[in-house]
Amino acid sequence: MAGLFSLEGRRALVTGANTGIGQAIAVALAGQGADVTCAGRRSCAETVDAITAAGGKAESLTLDFADPMAARDVFAGAGYSILVNNAGTIRRADSVDYSEADWDAVVDTNLKALFFTCQAFGKALMADGTPGSVINIASLLSFQGGIRVPAYTASKHGVAGVTKILANEWAPHGITVNAIAPGYIATNNTEALREDPDRSKAILDRIPAGRWGDPSDIGGTAAFLASPAATYITGAVLNVDGGWLAR
């Protein structure tokens, strides 16, 4: 008998699955039995190899979400019932100097592509009458302002809003839509922070858990939100941050 957290018989697409959080999510979904498509603009071969070596099912798909419509033809008739929107980008500059090109690049990838990928996924599920799960990767900057990342902050606030409106509209179709807001996670993106003793100490001093998060912390949360255990959870933006926002 399938367990409450089993994803057996489900097909999932994870964007930005080549490394870090996206890779951990893909591995976690496969670990619960999902057949996972690892999508990204760079090769996801390492993720696919890790999954298949552990006895899971995975394949790679090249998609560049600098084109917000990159996934419009992916879902129809393909049998997906789980979508994880993890692909994203960030560009830093003082707000008074921030360029239109940087703004558009960040918002197009982090928000516009996310919305239209959700749209294509939702249309396919509704056409088939199939329930499903959307998990968007938000940020602590869905709640906070940050510094020198105006487009990223705007886009991640937008991710929280899109998550809520889609949850409202799609709940009658049996489609849950939630977001995960990761805290400070030990990935390539935070390597410089972790190697700076003063910055690392300042960050750790605020985290009640007393440690940097591991990508697997996000992977486990995503697997839970995609599972039958979470069918009455929708419209949530769940911070997985070791207590950072509670401090």
Write the pLDDT tens digit of every residue in 46-81.
Answer: 999 999 999 999 999 999 999 999 999 999 999 999
pLDDT reading at 188 higher than 70: yes
Where in the chain are the domains? 11-186+216-237
What integer pLDDT is reported at residue 94 of this predicted model?
Answer: 97
Question: Is 152 among the catalytic positions?
Answer: yes
Asked if the model's pLDDT at residue 1 lies above 60, the reply is: no
CATH superfamily of 11-186+216-237: NAD(P)-binding Rossmann-like Domain (3.40.50.720)
Give pLDDT tens digits for 224-234: 999 999 999 99
Of 98, 152, 184, 232, which is the active-site residue?
A: 152
Mean local confidence (pLDDT), 151-160: 98
In the predicted model, what is the mean pLDDT of residues 23-30?
98
SS3 state of residue 61: strand
Helices (H), the chain: 20-31, 45-53, 100-107, 113-128, 150-170, 191-195, 197-206, 215-226
Q: What pTM does this model have?
A: 0.96
Looking at the predicted structure, is the pLDDT value of residue 2 above 80?
A: no
**What 3-state class would DSSP assign to 101?**
helix
Report the share of the chain in percent with pLDDT over 70.
99
pLDDT in tens, 108-128: 999 999 999 999 999 999 999
